[in-house]
Amino acid sequence: MEENKIQQDLSSIRNMMERSSKFISLSGLSGILAGVYALIGAGVAYYLTGRPTPAGLVEGILSIIQNIKYLIEIGFIVLVASIATGFILTYRKAKRKGQSIWGKASRALLFNMSIPILAGGALVIILLYQGGNLGLLLPTTLIFYGLALVNASNFTFTDVKYLGICEIILGLIGACIPGYGLILWAIGFGLLHIIYGSVMYLKYDRESTI
Nearer to other proteins, 98 or 131 (CB): 98
- Rounded to a whole number of angstroms, the minimum distance from the CB of residue 200 to other proteins is 22
- Rounded to a whole number of angstroms, the minimum distance from the CB of residue 18 to other proteins is 8
What whole-number distance in Å separates Cα of residue 75 and Cα of residue 81? 10
List CB contacts of 87: < 8 A, sequence separation 6 or more: none
- Rounded to a whole number of angstroms, the minimum distance from the CB of residue 4 to other proteins is 11
- Rounded to a whole number of angstroms, the minimum distance from the CB of residue 110 to other proteins is 15
Nearer to other proteins, 99 or 198 (CB): 99
Is residue 108 exposed (0-12), middle (13-18) or buried (19+ Cβ within 10 Å)?
Answer: middle
Nearer to other proteins, 14 or 203 (CB): 14
Residue closest to 28 by CA, chosen among 166, 194, 158, 151: 194
What whole-number distance in Å separates Cα of residue 14 and Cα of residue 55? 57
Nearer to other proteins, 30 or 151 (CB): 151
Q: How many CB atoms lie within 10 A of CB 49?
A: 21
- Rounded to a whole number of angstroms, the minimum distance from the CB of residue 108 to other proteins is 9
| Residues making contact with other proteins (CB under 8 A) | 1, 3, 6, 8-10, 12-14, 16-17, 19-21, 98, 100, 103-104
Nearer to other proteins, 63 or 100 (CB): 100
What whole-number distance in Å separates Cα of residue 166 and Cα of residue 200? 16
